[in-house]
Amino acid sequence: MKKTKVLVGLASCGIAAGAYKVYDKLKALQETDKLDIEIKKTGCIGMCFREPLVEVIDETGSYLYGEIDEEKAVEIFNKHLKQNEPVNDFIVKSDFVKSKDDSFWDGQVKIALRNCGVIDPENITEYEGQDGYKAIKEILEGKISQEQVIQTVLDSGIRGRGGGGFPTGLKWRFAFKNKSDVKYIICNADEGDPGAFMDRSLLEGDPHAVIEGLIIGAYAIAASEGVIYCRAEYPLAIKRLNIAIDQARERGFLGKDIMGVKDFNFNLYVKEGAGAFVCGEETALMASIEGERGMPRKRPPFPAEAGLWGKPSNINNVETFANIPYILLNGAESYSKYGTEKSKGTKVFALTGKINHGGSVEVPMGVSIKDIIFKLGGGITDGKKFKAVQLGGPSGGCIPDYLADTIVDYDSVNATGAIMGSGGMVVMDETTCMVDIARFFLDFTCKESCGKCTFCRVGTKRMLEILTRITEGEGKEGDIEKLEELAYQIKDNSLCGLGQTAPNPVLTTIKYFRHEYEAHIIDKKCPAKNCKKLITYTVNPDTCTGCTVCAKNCPVDAIDGGRKEVHFIRTDACTQCGVCYSKCKFDAILLS
């Protein structure tokens, strides 16, 4: 009889939701009852909106339980694990029980995320049990040439998943052709946008896949040194990476004469970054590894020619490397059969914002944004209207609702003014002010500017000042035109990708939501009723009960009225703090 397995999702998302308490409770119950089952840790299962997650796999099949606390864990233990009676009320996915969340899994194709939520990420044996390290073994044992490995990656059509979308195989070929006594291969795990959640989930849930991808890349370009540059804010990812690196070294996949192949030497270590967004740019990242301030460098020379320490180097991101073992093991066609003509394979997205099913999803390229939001994502929270989606992180762009049929591929997304980025997808509803969203993202990129370029350093600051004025009701005629002029100057004259893409949120919101800018500037109104200084608060006499709660909580005593009398807000004294609106239990405070 197959031993029952219990998997508890213990990535950062699960831990934050209290999954360790559930794990400890199940382990304690097992110890007390001496039940012959296997309770294991695993990474992010993807369904973050139902954390903590517990999966029971027994001889009949798999049962995924969601929103589990200690009390529910006891019930699962007593009924399912001891009496073989699944607790249907807690099931969020199963082959035997229908769930309201089943649509979350429809259309997903797991390649990069194939082992996340399946294996214990701290156990190399479990990775090997999923064909882990089989690809590098077949390459070395079969004496597959470096050129053949690179050609397979080229034929797969995979493009860099870090945002630029440059063909991975072509990048490897450039590095391979440049001869040197030392070459470097680097994994960029420092993206700072919502897509970084996806990278972190991969590192926490399947670090060996990333490491194997790096080893294959090192073999292909003849690199002897490797670095995983990971921001220090991801302590769990760093911990599991270091465990995996030690295990891979013990197994002979890292070090000298790997798997008995003479002169194939490859060492790998983790470099902890300080979390600077600009270090997502490859030349700034290399400067940081070298101990310098993370600032971009002029190109040419490109990293493939003179990168880290002046030696030929190749940089790809986490998701790219995680795909490589699958491609080499299963063949280029197994990957290229998914996607569109120019954008092959799958893409992982971190769904967040005003969406019912937030989490990590992996879909084939070519799926529409609408299907991701309304099928996998379960639609907009509280039944509100979908307004826009911000794609590509802080440097991405906002795509309006009427372009929701746009498919996910590099060319189609770029045509909207957004970028694919590393996979952040922030969903917005009718209560979102697009001017304030542009201000929010520009505030981030302005603060993260390294300061090297005048256009980026000063230009983003001037744009932020204008946007702040507009959201505070002090916008002036000509501000929109000034924003556009500054945006194009910054895009055209900044040295690196951060500066070149920083204006994207502003340009796309002006392009698709110009009327909101005009309402802020001309009418002194925020159509979304979001910008506090542009909101007028009044009392609805038909619903006011005179309970006095609003008056008692008003910090500036701007509300008049006695008990059981209709109240009145003096607009000349009101500071638009919104306390009355949040405290009223009868929906008697109106916003205009």
**Residue 487 maps to which CATH number?**
1.20.1440.230
Long-range CB contact pairs, 329-332, < 8 A, 24+: 329/131, 329/134, 329/135, 329/138, 331/152, 332/152, 332/153, 332/154, 332/155, 332/156, 332/157
Look at residue 455 and tell me whether its pLDDT is greater than 60: yes
Which two structure tokens, joined as six digits, stand for 385?
């209207």
In a domain, 208, yes or no: yes
Which two structure tokens, joined as six digits, stand for 526?
């925020």
CATH number for the domain that contains residue 246: 3.40.50.11540
- Position 196 confidence tier, pLDDT thresholds 50, 70, 90: low
**Range 13-32 average pLDDT:** 96
Question: So what's the pLDDT on residue 393?
Answer: 84
Query: Which CA distances in Å does 141 have to 250, 258, 266?
Result: 19, 11, 17
**Range 315-342 average pLDDT:** 97
List the alpha helices (DSSP H) in 343-478.
369-371, 410-415, 434-448, 454-471
Structural contact between residues 259 and 141, judged by C-beta atoms closer than 8 angstroms: yes
Structural contact between residues 324 and 185, judged by C-beta atoms closer than 8 angstroms: no
* Of 523, 554, 569, the domain-final residue: 523
Pairing of strands 313-317, 61-66: unpaired
Tens of pLDDT, residue by residue over 149-167, are: 999 999 999 999 877 789 9
CATH number for the domain that contains residue 567: 3.30.70.20
Tens of pLDDT, residue by residue over 85-121, are: 999 999 999 988 899 999 999 999 999 999 999 999 9
**Range 518-547 average pLDDT:** 94
DSSP 3-state of 94: strand
- Opening angle at CA 235, ends 256 and 50, nearest 5: 120
- Position 392 confidence tier, pLDDT thresholds 50, 70, 90: confident
In a domain, 531, yes or no: no
Q: Does one domain contain both 149 and 274?
A: yes
Query: Which CA distances in Å does 329 have to 216, 231, 325?
Result: 11, 30, 6
Q: Does one domain contain both 439 and 420?
A: no
Residue 469's φ and ψ, nearest 5 degrees, are -60, -45
In a domain, 240, yes or no: yes
Q: Does one domain contain both 517 and 542?
A: no
Tell me whether the omega of the peptide bond preceding residue 312 falls within 30 degrees of 0, making it cis: no
CATH number for the domain that contains residue 53: 3.40.30.10
Q: Does one domain contain both 514 and 439?
A: yes
Look-up: residue for tokens 């002090």? Answer: 474
CATH number for the domain that contains residue 419: 3.10.20.600
- Opening angle at CA 419, ends 43 and 497, nearest 5: 95
- Position 192 confidence tier, pLDDT thresholds 50, 70, 90: low
In a domain, 281, yes or no: yes
Which two structure tokens, joined as six digits, stand for 426?
């922030």
Domain count, the chain: 5
Cα pseudo-dihedral 268, 232, 11, 393, rounded to 10:
-100
Q: Does one domain contain both 12 and 81?
A: yes
Query: Which CA distances in Å does 344 have to 160, 161, 329, 416?
Result: 11, 11, 17, 20
Tell me whether the omega of the peptide bond preceding residue 300 falls within 30 degrees of 0, making it cis: yes
Long-range CB contact pairs, 147-151, < 8 A, 24+: 147/176, 149/216, 149/219, 149/220, 149/328, 150/176, 150/220, 150/221
* Of 336, 363, 386, the domain-final residue: 336
Tens of pLDDT, residue by residue over 422-443, are: 788 999 999 999 999 999 999 9
In a domain, 165, yes or no: yes
Q: Over the range 488-511, which residues count as b (16 or more CB within 10 Å of their CB) and which as e? A: eebbeebbbbbbbbbbbbbbbbbe
Which two structure tokens, joined as six digits, stand for 202?
């991969």
Q: Does one domain contain both 194 and 265?
A: yes
Q: Does one domain contain both 486 and 518?
A: yes
pLDDT over 90 percentage in the chain: 88
Structural contact between residues 107 and 376, judged by C-beta atoms closer than 8 angstroms: yes
Look-up: residue for tokens 């493009």? Answer: 159
Q: Does one domain contain both 81 and 131?
A: no
Q: Strand pairing partners for 560?
A: 568
Tens of pLDDT, residue by residue over 198-220, are: 788 999 999 999 999 999 999 99
In a domain, 119, yes or no: no
Structural contact between residues 319 and 422, judged by C-beta atoms closer than 8 angstroms: yes
**Range 30-34 average pLDDT:** 94
In a domain, 396, yes or no: yes
Q: Does one domain contain both 303 and 384?
A: no
Structural domain including 559 reads 536-591
- Position 45 confidence tier, pLDDT thresholds 50, 70, 90: very high
Query: Which CA distances in Å does 418 have to 134, 364, 410?
Result: 38, 19, 10
Whole-structure pTM over 0.75, yes or no?
yes
Nearest Cα neighbor of 151 from 410, 366, 281, 327 is: 327
Task: Tell me the angle at which helices 235-250 and 196-205 cross, rounded to the nearest 10 degrees.
Answer: 40
Question: So what's the pLDDT on residue 1?
Answer: 59
Q: Does one domain contain both 132 and 232?
A: yes
Nearest Cα neighbor of 374 from 420, 405, 396, 418 is: 405
Q: Does one domain contain both 130 and 229?
A: yes
In a domain, 113, yes or no: no
- Position 191 confidence tier, pLDDT thresholds 50, 70, 90: low
Q: Percent helix, strand, coil in the chain (nearest 5)?
A: 45, 15, 40
Q: Does one domain contain both 169 and 318?
A: yes
